[in-house]
Structure 1
């Protein structure tokens, strides 16, 4: 006969699910806002470009909207290219993090070991702490 799961495990599981749901909701909201801003820039560019012959100053608005659109697309590509292949295409130098995950983890571990866990930095930090005051408090 199996034993029921401890109550604590179910509480932690529910809290984790709520945190994950909140983070997923925030991510979706951020993606929507970014996509809407990009679409707005494209719309402003199209309208400004079409009315530029009547109002010369709209050339500046069109240039601004064009630059914002190009910048938004470049940012999207750069972020997506770090984690996966944009549009599923086998473009070189994309999906950098998944393909180099082990090397990145090894280098990060080595960095922490050398810079934070080496005897000298630990000795310096321990020298800064006033243990007698901590115990007295």
Structure 2
């Protein structure tokens, strides 16, 4: 009987050991599962980081494009200002030309009077004043009369 008891005790011990081993295995499995979950979480975090990096790169590119567009806009504004200045200069030149044309027309209107004045001065024998009117002699039909 003692032998039977000992055998039973051995079996019980073996069973307990098996139970312990099973518990240990279960714990190991739990740990493995936890580790796998941690790995998954780490992968997810890495993916999120990658997405964040991509978004940051996109943001940088967008900022660069915005800067380029602002620079282009500045250049265009400068060109517009230059063109406006050129237009103003051209308008001023046009005004000056119109004034010169008016002056020339006025001179042309005055030419007969100048010729008459030259003839009158010539008749009065004042050669100094005649010389001042010689510039109008180009317009004067009595040019030959002044020279004589």
User: Shorter-normalised TM-score: what interval?
Assistant: 0.3 to 0.5
- Give the structure with the larger helix fraction: 2
Report which structure shows greater RCO (CA 8 Å, sep ≥6).
2
- Tell me the TM-score normalised to structure 1 length: 0.38
